[in-house]
Each structure stands twice: as structure tokens, then as C-alpha cells.
Chains A and B, each alone.
Chain A
Amino acid sequence: MTAVSKPGVKSEPAEAITEMEQVRRAQQGDVAAYEALYRMHIGRIYALCLRMTGNRATAEDCAQDAFIRAWRKLAQFRGTSAFGTWLHRIAINEVLTRRRSAGRERAHMELVDNEQQITRAERRGNANEHRLDLEQAIAALPEGARHVFVMHSVYGYSHEETAGTLGVAVGTCKAQLHRARKLLRANLDA
């Protein structure tokens, strides 16, 4: 199972140097440098959008628009946080901005191909299958509970950060997390 990386955390100093250089070039209008940044981060940004929205098409739109928005705001990036962290924030805001847009109602995430759609009982014992179960259960959560669970439990944001980003009280955030866990356990144990 792949270890999760918290938003913006880099594993290699060399990568960070390269990334900062790419950011500097992109800030000067270098589209190729920005494409390199896109290649570095699209997987994480798309994963975040996919888990927050529970819908592939919407997640693609959100990720795409997040990179467009980030390009336009690139001059405002001062390097006080990691570029990935900054991108994460933009992507989360993109998801929240469009979550109520007409015609983009959430559908369940379709992570499993038809031939893989076997019963849960048959899949027990396989880590990847448990992961898919969890991904699907997260996607099926009500929107508020899903946003809190994804930000707090998957990506490691604190309750204060999560509540602040979502525009709710910390108490509401904790209540939504409790609700999410309860629903997930019920779903996964079913």
C-alpha cells in the first residue's frame, strides 16, 4: 500500500529545488515550466478532487480549473508554503466553489471495472480491494461528511484548518467527522 504524503510535503530536497526553479520560471511566463509543475502535481490534485467530489468528470473539471486558476495567481505565490500545499488549497476551493453548480450532481465514483465487480465477501483479504471498498464508501458519503473526512482523515488537515476552509464551526466539523466514520463503518461492514 502506498504511503500517503501530506499536502505539499516533498520527499527529496533535489525535487524541491527543481520545483522551486520551475515555479520561478513559470512565474516569468514559462509555460513549459508550468507544464512540468502540472506533471509533478496532477496525480495528487486529481486524487484530492476525486475524493472530494466523488465523481470523475467533476474531479477532472476541478483539477483542470485549479491549474488554470493557479497559473493566474502564480505571481501571488511567495514560497512561504510548499507549492503543492498552495495548489491543494486552490483545488479545494475549486471543489467548494462549484459543488452546487447545476448539472453537476454527484454520482458514485466508478473505480472498479465491470470484470472486477465481484462481491465484497470474495474480495476479503486483499489490500487493494479493501482500498477500493474504502474509496467507494468515501465517495458514497453525504457531501458535508465526505469533505470533512477527506480533508481531515485522508489528507491530515487539522479540525481548525478543515473547518476554516469549509466555512463551518470546528464543532460542526467534528460532528461531520463522527457521522462520516459511522457511515463508513456501516458501509464497509455491510
Chain B
Amino acid sequence: MNESDASEALDRAAAALPAAIDPERDLWPAIEACIVSKPASRPTPRAWPHPGWAGQLAAAVTLMAVASIATFMLVDRPQAPAQPDEQALAWADIWAEPARFGARDALSQEYLDARHALTTTLEQRLGALSPDTRALVVANLIEIRQALDAINVALAEDPDNALLQRLLLKTYQDEMYVLVNLNSTTQPIRERIEL
């Protein structure tokens, strides 16, 4: 069989591969949790120890939209040198806080490693953003971390509260989503389109 025939046979085999493959797990629950997240309309149980955290959580969940908009601004902005300010210092304190899941459960090492890697890369890239854009991104990330902290405090006091557990997990997922998006969209354009 010559090269042309072999290529045609390969393409025929490729085109005949099954169009659909089902994932091993149902992705819908996570998708639904994300698309129906409207914390402002959620009832807030009075018994929860930190009523203020619900507002912070609402901010955290809606952050994704804000952060996504912000990331569109990042790519083409002129780059400016990093200038430490009060916000950056406050952020540095919060940023250093390790991820945790209440006082009883532990997060997987794989997740912690991925989160650390994304955070480190993002920190390096933040310095190249314009001051306004950096301030917007950092403000949003601070809100996410504060929400995580508030939920963790609540969960430490009520470790069997399934709703708190789900909300904490969801907020970590949101944080990861934002980190991945920020890391992706702050890559230099040339690097992103390189094949």
C-alpha cells in the first residue's frame, strides 16, 4: 500500500470512529450547580453561625462573570510594571492561606498541587497587568478567598452540615474555574495560538 492509499485508509478509519462516547460520570449535577447558582435568591437558614458569609458567597459565585469579563480586558492591555500597594499586601496575606475543607476533612493532594501551581503562575502574570486591571482581578480573588474562609469557619462549627459542605465544594470549584480562566487568558497571545 502506498502512502496515499495508507492515508486514505487512515482517514476512513478515523471518520468511522464512534461519534459519541459517554463520560464515566454524569457531568450534569456539576453543570446544574453552576448554572443555577443565584445565591441572592437562596433562602439563608437562620441557624447558620455566620450570616454574613452568605453575602460573601454570593459575591464569590457571581465573581466568575466579573472575572471572565475582566480577562477579556487583560490580553490586549499595555503591560505595566508591578507596583506593590495596600491591596496587593492584603492579598498576599490571604493568598498564603492553604486550602482546607472544614476542620475534619482533607482536600486531595492533586487538587492542592494544581491550585498551588495555578496560583503561582497567576501571581507571576499579575505583575504584568495594568494597575486598574490588576486591582479588579485581585479584588475579585480576595472576595473568593474571604468567602472560602467564612464557609470554612462555619463548617468547622457545624461539620455535618451537608449544605455547607456542598457550598464550600462549589466555591472551591468556582475558584478553580476562575484561576484556570485567568491563567489561560493572561498567557501571551503568541503562546496561546501556537500549535
Contacts and interface: CB of A to CB of B under 8 A. Distances in A.
Interface stretch (B27-35, B55-63, B96-104, B154-162): B27-35
B184 A101 contact: yes
A102 interface: yes
Given A98-B184, A103-B114, A166-B195, A185 B14 contact: no
Nearest to B24: A56
Interface size class of B (residues with CB under 8 A): 35 or more
Contacts of B183: 101-102
Contacts of B14: 134, 138, 149, 153-154
Q: Interface range on chain A: under 10, 10 to 19, 20 to 34, or 35 or more?
A: 35 or more
Interface in B7-29: 7, 10-11, 13-25, 27-28
Contacts, number: 130
A46 to B, nearest CB: 5
Interface stretch (B78-86, B128-136, B186-194): B186-194
A167 interface: yes
B118 A38 contact: no
B180 interface: yes
B22 A31 contact: no
Contacts of A134: 13-14, 17
B19 A44 contact: yes
Interface of A: 1-5, 31, 34-35, 38-39, 42-44, 46-47, 50-51, 56, 59-60, 63-65, 67-68, 71-72, 96-98, 100-104, 130-131, 134-135, 138, 144, 147-149, 153-154, 156, 166-168, 172, 176, 181, 184-185
Given A31-B32, A181-B7, A5 B19 contact: yes
A144 to B, nearest CB: 4
Given A98-B180, A103-B117, A63 B27 contact: yes
Contacts of A38: 27-28, 31
A154 B184 contact: no
B180 A101 contact: yes
Contact of A35 (B6, B17, B32): B32
B163 interface: no
B105 interface: no
A58 B162 CA distance: 27
Contacts of B185: 97
